[in-house]
Amino acid sequence: MLNVGKIEEGFVLDHIKAGKSLSIYKHLGLDKLDCTVAIIKNARSEKMEKKDILKVECDINTLNLDILSFIDHNITVNVIKNSEIVQKLPLSLPKEIKNVLKCKNPRCITSIEQELPHIFVLTDEKKEIYRCKYCEEKYSDTDLL
Amino acid sequence: MRHLMRPLDFSVEELDRLFELAEDIEKNPEKYAHACEGKKLATCFYEPSTRTRLSFEAAMLNLGGKVLGFSDANSSSAAKGESVSDTIRVISCFADICAIRHPKEGAPMVAASLSSIPVINAGDGGHQHPTQTLTDLLTIRAIKGRLDNFTIGLCGDLKFGRTVHSLINALVRYDNINFVFISPDELKIPEYIIEMLRERNIPFRETRKLEEVMPELDILYMTRVQKERFFNEEDYVRLKDYYILNKEKMKLAKDDMIVLHPLPRVNEISVEVDNDPRAVYFRQVQYGVYVRMALLLTLLEIKV
């Protein structure tokens, strides 16, 4: 089995659905960071059979938890200091997300007014449904920016 | 400061107060004739809608206020590329309240978020048209004396008709409403509305034949079956006559049943029905003015 070493300071995103790590890497903007990032795909997991893991060696404050929660709030966020887990951050669905999704409704005002922020609001917590703040179009998987 | 963006922005209690005010306006118009003196309503209509715009303007004029505005995008600064966000900030300097109609969904919401005056959504694409719903509710309440305990038939284009969807969403907040959906298969009520009714245990049934259900109805809400919704001419020709309300069909209805229609009517209600006292669609237009008067007073926080 492949071994990836411990990180000294930073955070580990564990229990990512297998195959989702690259998408999370992109949406969290990790590609723009000048720090060590390890992307582990298809790691063995008792709970999930297969999972992805992201290890990031930088300050936890650079992480946008809202985006992460929106993508998958079942991910475990471990904060690492001196190579030890010092905190587990709980994720919950954000009430509102800004400029993460793009409204695809061609009749929406955001389709003609480019400067408007794309805001989606959580309208049904149970069913995890987000809707465009302006036209109320439902979010779908293809709407991620 | 409040805006009106969606039919459900007001709670049932707030709607009761609004309708009480509208009914008082109907009875005592002179009492309100100067209530908005010195106030101006801007009607910003980015697409033409003569009836809605004139209804708003009549409402403000009846209250002694003044109106200004534009009636299509080509005669406004939008033609020069100005955004809704900029236009509303400019209009806020000219008027005390604004009614906006726009072909893009959510445009009034953008306006409201930046406006320093109350904004009323006067229709945004196929999305929302809250003052039509308020008009429908006031008409039912004023004529039937209640907004609960009745069977309402909704007939025609139930798939795309936003007035129908809004009205259903508004009526489910009242007790003991029984829905009957009358439409061709091609224009049936959307599944998400059916699901909502099931979840709330609200009785409903679907049928293709208007005659069958006429005797049960307390209210019949007619809409237009639009030719452009059909894939082929044949289907349209086959189905359109199902839903023409005429004298014969009216004979099957209760004596105190009422017929509503958001207008414009094309041929779905035969003109021979117009003189039937149960045909209230032109009175409905009048109630539209009263409810808009009550809305202007409420949003401007003017007490008479």
% of chain B beyond a pLDDT of 90? 82
Structural domains in chain B (count): 2
Q: Return the higher-pLDDT residue of B149 and A114.
A: B149
Distance from B84 to chain A by nearest Cα, in Å?
Answer: 8
Q: What CATH architecture applies to the domain A10-89?
A: 2-Layer Sandwich (3.30)
Q: Is residue B207 part of a domain?
A: yes
- B126 Cβ under 8 Å from any chain A Cβ: yes
Q: pLDDT at position A1, please?
A: 66
Tell whether B291 and B270 lie within a shared domain. Answer: no
Tell whether B162 and B228 lie within a shared domain. Answer: yes
% of chain A beyond a pLDDT of 70? 95
Q: Render A72-105 in DSSP notation, one character per residue.
A: -TT-EEEEEETTEEEEEE-----SEEESSB----
Average pLDDT over residues B233-240: 78
Q: How confident is the model at residue B227 (pLDDT cuts 50, 70, 90)?
A: confident
What residues in A contact B127, CB-CB < 8 Å? 107, 135-136
Q: Is residue B101 flagged as an active site residue?
A: yes
Q: How confident is the model at residue A63 (pLDDT cuts 50, 70, 90)?
A: confident
Q: How confident is the model at residue B187 (pLDDT cuts 50, 70, 90)?
A: confident
CATH assignment of the domain containing B119: 3.40.50.1370
Q: pLDDT at position B125, please?
A: 86
Tell whether B65 and B55 lie within a shared domain. Answer: yes
Q: How confident is the model at residue A67 (pLDDT cuts 50, 70, 90)?
A: confident
Average pLDDT over residues B58-85: 88
Q: Is the predicted pLDDT of residue B148 greater than 90, yes or no?
A: yes
Domain ranges of chain A: 10-89, 96-143
What residues in B contact A109, CB-CB < 8 Å? 84, 102, 104-107, 109-110, 124
Q: Is the predicted pLDDT of residue A144 greater than 90, yes or no?
A: no
Q: Is the predicted pLDDT of residue A145 greater than 80, yes or no?
A: no
CA-CA distance, B152 to B179, in Å (whole number)?
Answer: 5
Per-residue CA distances from B179 to B37, B108, B125, B131, B174 (Å): 43, 31, 26, 22, 12
In this predicted complex, what is the ipTM?
0.84
Q: Return the higher-pLDDT residue of B295 and A123.
A: B295
Q: pLDDT at position B91, please?
A: 96
Contacts of B49 (CB under 8 A, 6+ apart): B101, B122, B123
- Cβ neighbourhood burial of B278 (10 Å; 0-12, 13-18, 19+): middle
Tell whether B82 and B167 lie within a shared domain. Answer: no
Tell whether B119 and B186 lie within a shared domain. Answer: no
What residues in B contact A116, CB-CB < 8 Å? 85, 110
- B110 Cβ under 8 Å from any chain A Cβ: yes
Q: Is the predicted pLDDT of residue A143 greater than 70, yes or no?
A: no
Tell whether B113 and B209 lie within a shared domain. Answer: no
| CATH of A96-143 among 3.30.365.10, 3.40.50.620, 2.30.30.20, 3.40.190.10 | 2.30.30.20
User: Which of helix, strand or coil describes residue B190?
Assistant: coil
For B26-40, write each residue's pLDDT tens digit. Answer: 999 999 999 999 999
What residues in B contact A117, CB-CB < 8 Å? none
Tokens of B41: 């309503």
The stretches of A1-145 forming alpha helices (DSSP H) are 21-27, 65-71
Average pLDDT over residues B255-284: 95
Q: What share of chain B is helix, strand, coil (3-state, %, to 5)?
A: 50, 15, 35
User: Which of helix, strand or coil describes residue A35?
Assistant: coil
Q: Is residue B211 part of a domain?
A: yes
Q: Is the predicted pLDDT of residue B77 greater than 80, yes or no?
A: no
Instruction: Quote the strand ranges of B73-214, DSSP E.
Output: 97-102, 119-124, 150-155, 177-182, 204-207
Tell whether B245 and B290 lie within a shared domain. Answer: no
Cβ within 8 Å of B, A 102-121? 105, 107-113, 115-116
Tell whether B96 and B198 lie within a shared domain. Answer: no
Q: Is the pTM of this model over 0.80?
A: yes
Q: Return the higher-pLDDT residue of A6 and A123.
A: A123
Q: Is the predicted pLDDT of residue B230 greater than 90, yes or no?
A: no
Tokens of B267: 């041929």
CA-CA distance, B244 to A81, in Å (whole number)?
Answer: 75
Q: pLDDT at position A47, please?
A: 86
Q: pLDDT at position A61, please?
A: 85
Contacts of A55 (CB under 8 A, 6+ apart): A4, A7, A10, A11, A12, A13, A36, A37, A38, A40
Q: pLDDT at position A141, please?
A: 62
Kindly calculate the radius of gyration of chain A based on its CA atoms and give it in whole angstroms.
17
Crossing angle of helices B130-144 and B12-27, in 10° steps, is 70
CA-CA distance, B229 to B186, in Å (whole number)?
Answer: 9
- B107 Cβ under 8 Å from any chain A Cβ: yes
Q: Is the predicted pLDDT of residue B231 greater than 90, yes or no?
A: no
Q: pLDDT at position B217, please?
A: 98
Q: Is residue B2 part of a domain?
A: no
On average, the pLDDT of chain B sits at 93
On average, the pLDDT of chain A sits at 89
Tell whether B140 and B276 lie within a shared domain. Answer: yes
Q: Considering only alpha carbons, which residue of chain B is nearest residue A106?
A: B104
Tell whether B170 and B279 lie within a shared domain. Answer: yes
Q: How confident is the model at residue B229 (pLDDT cuts 50, 70, 90)?
A: low
For B92-107, write each residue's pLDDT tens digit. Answer: 999 999 999 999 999 9
Among the residue ranges B65-79, B82-96, B167-181, B227-241, the one predicted with the least confidence is B227-241
Q: What share of chain A is helix, strand, coil (3-state, %, to 5)?
A: 20, 35, 45
Tokens of B287: 């109630």
Average pLDDT over residues B167-185: 95
CA-CA distance, A4 to A17, in Å (whole number)?
Answer: 19
Q: Using an 8 Å Cβ cutoff, are B161 and B225 in contact?
A: no
- B165 Cβ under 8 Å from any chain A Cβ: no
Tell whether B98 and B220 lie within a shared domain. Answer: no
How many other C-beta atoms can be found within 10 angstroms of the C-beta atom of residue A74?
10
Q: How confident is the model at residue A12 (pLDDT cuts 50, 70, 90)?
A: very high
What range does the domain containing B196 cover? Answer: 131-284
Average pLDDT over residues B129-144: 97
Distance from A108 to chain B by nearest Cα, in Å?
Answer: 5
How many Cβ contacts (< 8 angstroms) between chains A and B?
A: 48
- B215 Cβ under 8 Å from any chain A Cβ: no
Average pLDDT over residues A47-63: 90
Q: Considering only alpha carbons, which residue of chain B is nearest residue A108?
A: B105
Q: Is the predicted pLDDT of residue B241 greater than 90, yes or no?
A: no
Q: pLDDT at position A95, please?
A: 93
Determine, for residues A113 and B105 on separate chains, whether the beta-carbon distance falls below 8 Å: no
Tell whether B28 and B48 lie within a shared domain. Answer: yes
Q: How confident is the model at residue B240 (pLDDT cuts 50, 70, 90)?
A: confident
Tokens of A1: 């089995």
Q: Is residue B51 flagged as an active site residue?
A: yes
Q: Is residue B165 flagged as an active site residue?
A: no
